[in-house]
Structure 1
Amino acid sequence: MEWTTLNFCSNSNPIPLESLTVCDCPNITSLPLADEIARLSALRVLTITNCPNLISLGRYREVETTNNCHLMLSDLTISDPSVLLMEPLRSIASIKELTIEYNDEVVSFPNEAEQWFLKVRSSLYELRFSDLKSLESLPSTLESLSSLHKLSIDVPMLRELPKLPPSLKRLEIWGRCHPELKERYKEDGGSDRHKIAHIPSIFIDP
């Protein structure tokens, strides 16, 4: 059977779901998160990866705002940055951990996605970019993430980092990263090492 949407039980009872993972569903086009937002107050961890035809997270009522949004996610994993622009994720400012992974097509972040990071600048604590085979640049708005403590990067085409926030305590540059990126920021003689010198803990995989 080819699933095109996911539905919850049609009643008014709260859904005691703390974690939801939807992955490797190439035919799914819609998830009813916005429709059931009042019933998903327990949801904290959401993963949506490898769902290339997803175009909607439900019908989000405009009367809902960030201040009265019932959905209080803390951990979000996605493969398509455009998901960040779908309601209710577009209006959520509670994300503490964000992972963007498993995407062969994204080269850079569109302006709207970059602006989304500003909405979580006071909450986002940990950020990971992994297995993004074509990504050449990170969001320029990372500098404004005043609560960011950990940044992990494992993408092969990235050659340079944007300005990073003073709050950052840990930077990880993993093995699949471009050799030029590693060379640029290495401890001994890296041409741009001074740009990350404020970070107390730096790991660069050889």
Structure 2
Amino acid sequence: MFLTISGCSSLVQDSPDQSIEGADISGCALELSELDIDHPALLYKEPLQSITTVKRLRISGGPELTLLPEEWLLHNYQALEEIVVYDASHLQCLPQAMASLTSLQSLQISHANLIQALPDIPSSLSNLRMDNCHSELKKGYKKNVGPDWTKIADIRDVDIC
């Protein structure tokens, strides 16, 4: 089962501990495998903040996305297989919790122009794609020559540009 929430800015304007009123996802939250949102603050709302079964997370970032929600990622560490972040132009770094995502296979981040380094990456990762990257990130992880290349050398499909 999947859920897409977009164009609902009023959902994120209230206090972070309020639930998403009127959302008809009762009974399926525990089964949710795909989540597609356009505002990262939605992950701090009930019932989304308590979900532990999401395999695929897609976030449209924009100015609101300065950090990925580390606590939420840790709640889904066993299930999460794919993270896609669109417009990560304000994302400053990836959380240290990335190393704990033991099922993560694919990480794709577009417009990652502020991220200068990567945290430890789980050994399960087989696909890493980042575009419009900061020059330090590109230099550090340049194939076979970058000083940090060895951190990602075992990943089958890498594209950092």
TM-score after normalising by structure 1: 0.66
| Residues 1:51 and 2:8 aligned together | yes
Q: Map 1:21-36 to 2 at 5 A.
A: none
Does structure 2 retain, via aligned residues, the 8 Å contact 1:50–1:102? no
| Residues 1:98 and 2:57 aligned together | yes
Q: CA deviation at 1:164?
A: 0.8
AA of the residue aligned to 2:63: D
Task: From 97, 110, 118, give the equivalent of 1:141.
Answer: 97
| Residues 1:170 and 2:127 aligned together | yes
Q: Map 1:95-134 to 2 at 5 A.
A: 95-109=54-68, 113-134=69-90
AA of the residue aligned to 1:143: A
Max radius of gyration: which structure?
A: 1
CA distance in 1, matches of 2:54, 2:123: 19
Show the counterpart of 1:70.
Answer: 28
Secondary structure of residue in 1 paired with 2:21: coil
Q: CA deviation at 1:69?
A: 5.2
Instruction: Report the count of equivalent residues.
Output: 151
Which blocks of at least 5 consecutive residues in structure 1 are unaligned?
Answer: 1-43, 61-67
Q: Name the structure where helix makes up a greater proportion of residues.
A: 2
CA distance in 2, matches of 1:191, 1:59: 51
| Residues 1:81 and 2:62 aligned together | no
Q: CA deviation at 1:59?
A: 7.5
Higher relative contact order (CA 8 A, sep 6+): 2
CA distance in 2, matches of 1:58, 1:192: 45
CA distance in 1, matches of 2:53, 2:46: 14
Secondary structure of residue in 1 paired with 2:9: coil
Which blocks of at least 5 consecutive residues in structure 2 are unaligned?
Answer: 13-18
AA of the residue aligned to 1:169: S
Q: CA deviation at 1:122?
A: 0.9
CA distance in 1, matches of 2:27, 2:73: 18
Secondary structure of residue in 2 paired with 1:54: helix
CA distance in 2, matches of 1:183, 1:45: 37
CA distance in 2, matches of 1:78, 1:161: 24
Q: CA deviation at 1:182?
A: 1.4
Name the CA shift for 1:184/1:49 in 2 (closer, same or farther; >3 Å).
farther
Identical pairs, percent: 37
Secondary structure of residue in 1 paired with 2:119: coil
- What do residues 16-73 of structure 1 show as CA deviations (whole Å, max 9, x unaligned)? xxxxxxxxxxxxxxxxxxxxxxxxxxxx22222353332341289xxxxxxx953222
- What do residues 78-100 of structure 1 show as CA deviations (whole Å, max 9, x unaligned)? 23222112111111111110112
Show the counterpart of 2:15.
Answer: none
